Chain A
Amino acid sequence: MRPLDPRLVRRIGPARRHIIVTAGLGFLTALLILVQALLIARLLAPVLSPTPLTDDGLRWWGGVVPESARTLATGLTALAVIVALRTALTWLQERLAHRAGVQVVSQLREMVVAHVATLGPRWAAGGRTADIATLVTRGLDDLLPYFVRYLPQLALAVTVTPVMMVVVLGLDWLSAVIVIATLPLVPVFMVLVGLLTQERSARHLEAMQRLGTRTLDLIEGLPTLKALGRERGPAARVRELGDAQRRATMGSLRIAFLSGMVLELLTTLAVAIVAVTMGFRLIAGDIGIETALAVLVLAPEVYLPVRNVGTHFHASADGLAAADAAFTLLDESDPTHVRASLGEAPDPRGRELRVDGLSVATPDGARLAPAALSFTAAPGAITVLRGPNGEGKSTALLALTGLLAPDEGTVAVGDTPVLRDDAAVALDGWLAHVAWVPQRPDLGPAGRTLSLGQRQRRALSRAFDSGRAIVLLDEPTSHLDRESRAEVIAAIRSLADSGATVVVATHEPEVVAAADAMVEVTGALTSTVEPANTGEDAS
């Protein structure tokens, strides 16, 4: 996992402003903390010094917080102002922080969805859309910590840390040396620990996931076990798997937490060493109390951004994995996009729709459904596609829309070819003539609240009222009661009478009875078809 994924950074776009605002507010807060440290030193130094203070312990930075802050009234007032400002800044930062992320997440989500929508029906038949919906909602939401916490902290680590170091250098060079010497050790040790443990960690992680999957497997199978009266057996197995998973998880955590320990150990120990060193130098009179106090308060703040980067990086891991999956998806492309063009779409009005030898392979490639389907649908007639489930009736209709490229065969209007396996007419022009109502039609998010029957009727009336020359209906009477079925069949009849070419896939006897022409759709195993094809190719 990289600290900055260039693919993500490129997409930040308008969110850059919000990230800069968040980081900017963080930077201002750090400056206030700086002033606060100097103020505390000013306030405490007079009462802790055994002799009256003569020189300015803050040296170069005395200009920022003048010596007048040594008096209680001035110093405390200034401190109170700083506290008020810090509170306001913290409030504002938290109020705006989420904006740095939500827009990027929304944009990425919209891109993935738009891309998947172009991948075509064959891809959609793979049944991955539910997983992708989870990826683009819950998955991408996990990216928020990356943009909202991690990136601003990364910006602070490269801006605040140097500023703090320069200030410490201005106060006391020896403390600055200790800080500068230990700071690079933090990333070095973390990388070292990471490298040494990566392999073991990956192995544990794999074992962990495998065991987790198995436990869920047992719970998922519970209805099956219950249906066979065998639900009591696996409880002990759930426990066993759980214990194994715990051991594997603890094994990986023991290693994963090491880097956190190194981080805390180095940063805290460095602060302790700075304090102790200053203590002995105070006794020797090498350094003043005011300087020592300022450095003591500032030292932990130098390390703070670095520590926060470490913390938030791990919180971003899930989101980064989701982003990676999203980018992989964006790289997948639709084969129908590379089909050759057969020119402009012909006007099918009043002309026969001819299908010749149409074959489409199923997603697993084992069967052709339909296999070598040939028929002619006349304008003004109802052509019914019939056959058992899974033989390719719906797929045949889909192929007629042109959105699904067939594996074999042609579709033509009269003598003008519309589509082949490797070529198609301009699809937008063709689709302007085609109305298509699938099973379970989609009418947008609002349609999802309607019952299946209501959705079916709305989708059908959209098709009936469209005035398009070719109307493709997939099981138009399912989810409807007897009365509505009769109405729908009458509407199909009058649609045909008005001259439209109507192709209906159904096994409803009432619809079949209304048909002017009947076509049996059958599938075939790929293996039984291939020899015939080879024969054809050879001839």
Chain B
Amino acid sequence: MSAGDVRVDWRALREAVRDTGLRAWPLTRAVLAGTVALGSAVGLSAVAAWLIAKAAQMPSPADVALAATIVRTFGVSRGLFRYLERLASHDAALRGVVTLRERVYDRLAGSGARTVMGLRRGDIVARMGGDLDAVGDVVVRALIPLGVAVTVSAISIAIVAVLLPLAGVVLAACLLAAGLVPAVLTLRSARIAAVEGTKARAEVTAAALSAMDGATEHRVWGTSSAAARALRDADADAEHAHELAARPAAWAVGAQSLFSGIALVALVGLGVLAVRAGDLEGPLAAIVALLPLAAFEAVGAVPTAVMQLFRSATAAHRLRSLTPAEGEATADATPASSPSTSPATLELRDLRAAWPGMTPTRPVTATVPPGGVLAIVGRSGIGKTTLLTTIAGALEPAGGAALLGGAVVTPAHTGHAIAMTAEDAHVFGTTVLENLRVARGSVTEDEAWDVLELVGLAPWVRSLPAGLDTELGADGRSVSGGERRRLLLARTALAPAPVLLVDEPAEHLDAAGALALRALVSRVRGEGRTVVLVTHDLALLDIADQVVSLDG
């Protein structure tokens, strides 16, 4: 794949920036502050040049007093306004990210069960945080610096053009070239880095994981040094990718140096000639000649800005592929009319389940009346969880059908008519009570204690510092595996849906866990609700009315 194959998804970036809900004023404010900051540097250079040249004519000190004050003011305003600009731009960007986060969350929540359940796979969520921030970075590191580059360049050109039009034209041409040429070259470098660099990084990751995860095997087979060598080779490829990306990047920086140098030579020459020809007074010619030294600082930000644009566009593209855009969402969206949530018979007809690209499970047929319990068994990796996800309506069947009350199960059933507790269900970084209320917002403290008693967690919760109001660590880290399972079971019991799907993991199901599961199943079936249970523990099968095995 050549570097030219990478298309920058500018449209995704534009839409993401629009989704930040940023208004014109916060951006303008930041650009203005930045313009004053960098403009101060240009102004300081111009007025100081005039001051020195004027002073050389030995006028009365009063004639340069104003210029001296202006120079000192610029000396202060540069640092001050740079500070204000940084605050204004970061504030705008952060506000944008907050809005963008909310909108992406909303869109994810509103999209179909299939999209959302897909979130459980891979490091999508971890990457999402970084991608959202990357869209915010485009404001701070690209849009505002580019805006400042345009305004400050315009001011520099205007100052020079008023004094000496030809010099103004030359400066304009050089500034334009020093902005555009590096922009194009930087984009090229970014593309190479994206293609070669990403490929190399994937190789490095694979080699590093193989050397670490497979360390024991490498020891047994004496391949440890080969594994180290594989990593070395992958590293060499990564070094080569850096080498390739550095080429256009070097030309970009070289071009900036060249065009600013051309402007310097030309304006010094034009300034001197103008004085000799009597077209311009000496102090004004000094401004023309020395301005290029400060004027190019603003366009110096272009390569970094372009690099950021590229990165943010990539991030925006990933975010967009995560959530179906408005208008395209209909196929997978939750329909307006919810299916009935009264007890009904669950029917599986030759149902096969698979995530795209996986081998489907063997067909399963079963009829579970309200109050019935179906157990699904099979060895790990055979697709039990996938089958459960399909029964919940969150995944299109790979074959056959699941029906509830005679109607084919759809994503609209997920969570409403059929509630599911996955093996890796999330324990939120909030209180015990709020974690239970995830199932139903109206759960009272009494209900919470009742269900905790049922799963045998009440003594544990009573031992916590704030009881029901104890905050669990982010992702429930302060909770042990067994307690976590029982907390999830308690949550399942509180879900109001007529069909409950429980995915029981292989490990952590200790005696207390098994007891809790029995208690839960007998309570729920007593309420006339249906339970589908995935389990590895064959001792638990006596609580089921029917058992299906996925082992072939």
Interchain CB contact under 8 A, B289 and A40:
yes
Interchain CB contact under 8 A, A137 and B72:
no
Q: What's the dominant secondary structure at chain A's contact region?
A: helix
Q: List the A side residues contacting B475 at CB < 8 Å.
A: 217, 220
Interchain CB contact under 8 A, A250 and B75:
no
Interface residue? A13 (CB, 8 A)? no
| CB closest chain-A residue, reference B100 | A242
Interchain CB contact under 8 A, A227 and B269:
no
Interface residue? B94 (CB, 8 A)? yes
Interchain CB contact under 8 A, B273 and A90:
no
Binds A, one of B79-87, B147-155, B363-371, B523-531: B79-87
Given A270-B75, A272-B71, A276-B48, 8 more pairs with CB closer than 8 A: A87-B257, A213-B429, A225-B438, A238-B101, A263-B79, A264-B82, A296-B49, A388-B506
Q: A40-B268, A44-B286, A268-B75 are in contact. Are A390 and B394 (CB under 8 A)?
A: no
Q: A272-B72, A272-B74 are in contact. Are A50 and B80 (CB under 8 A)?
A: no
Interchain CB contact under 8 A, A257 and B211:
no
Interface residue? B129 (CB, 8 A)? yes
Q: How far is the CB of B85 from chain A (nearest CB, A)?
A: 10
Q: List the A side residues contacting B234 at CB < 8 Å.
A: 445
Interface residue? A10 (CB, 8 A)? no
Q: Mark A266-277, 1 if CB is under 8 A from B, else 0.
A: 101111110110
Interface residue? B19 (CB, 8 A)? no
Q: List the B side residues contacting A261 at CB < 8 Å.
A: 79-80, 82-83
Within 8 A of B (CB), among A480-507: 482, 507
Q: List the A side residues contacting B491 at CB < 8 Å.
A: 228
8 Å CB contact of B48 from A232, A260, A289, A296: A296
Interchain CB contact under 8 A, B87 and A250:
yes
Q: Mark B229-273, 1 if CB is under 8 A from A, else 0.
A: 011101110110011001101111110111001101100110111
Q: How far is the CB of B192 from chain A (nearest CB, A)?
A: 12
Interchain CB contact under 8 A, A431 and B49:
no
Interchain CB contact under 8 A, B109 and A232:
yes
Instruction: A441 to B91: give the CA distance in the assembly, Å.
Output: 50
Interface size on A, residues (CB 8 A): 139
Q: List the B side residues contacting A130 at CB < 8 Å.
A: 209
Instruction: A322 to B272: give the CA distance in the assembly, Å.
Output: 54
Q: List the A side residues contacting B223 at CB < 8 Å.
A: 444
8 Å CB contact of A227 from B208, B232, B421: B421
Q: Mark A253-292, 1 if CB is under 8 A from B, else 0.
A: 1100110111111101111110110111011010001001
Within 8 A of B (CB), among A234-260: 234-235, 238-239, 242-243, 245-246, 249-250, 253-254, 257-258, 260
8 Å CB contact of A279 from B55, B76, B108: B55
| CB closest chain-A residue, reference B481 | A364
Interchain CB contact under 8 A, A388 and B537:
yes
Interchain CB contact under 8 A, A275 and B51:
yes
Q: What's the dominant secondary structure at chain B's contact region?
A: helix
For this complex, into which size category does the number of interface residues on chain B fall?
35 or more
Interchain CB contact under 8 A, A223 and B56:
no
| CB closest chain-B residue, reference A265 | B79
Q: How far is the CB of A153 from chain B (nearest CB, A)?
A: 15
Instruction: A176 to B441: give the CA distance in the assembly, Å.
Output: 72
Q: List the A side residues contacting B51 at CB < 8 Å.
A: 275-276, 279
Q: A228-B419, A283-B59 are in contact. Are A87 and B258 (CB under 8 A)?
A: yes
Instruction: A435 to B258: give the CA distance in the assembly, Å.
Output: 64
Interface residue? B35 (CB, 8 A)? no
Q: List 17 A-B contacts (CB under 8 A).
A: A47-B271, A87-B257, A94-B246, A113-B228, A121-B215, A219-B105, A220-B475, A224-B425, A229-B415, A253-B86, A253-B87, A265-B76, A272-B44, A273-B72, A282-B52, A445-B206, A445-B234
Within 8 A of B (CB), among A384-442: 388-390, 398, 401, 403, 427, 431-432, 434-436, 438, 441-442
Instruction: A72 to B289: give the CA distance in the assembly, Å.
Output: 13
| CB closest chain-A residue, reference B488 | A224
Interchain CB contact under 8 A, A228 and B116:
no
Interface residue? B536 (CB, 8 A)? yes
Interchain CB contact under 8 A, B438 and A72:
no
8 Å CB contact of A44 from B205, B235, B271, B510: B271
Interchain CB contact under 8 A, B212 and A129:
yes
Interface residue? B33 (CB, 8 A)? no
Interchain CB contact under 8 A, A229 and B419:
yes
8 Å CB contact of A106 from B113, B238, B247, B428: B238
Q: List the B side residues contacting A228 at CB < 8 Å.
A: 415, 419-421, 438-439, 491, 495, 497
8 Å CB contact of B428 from A138, A217, A435: A217
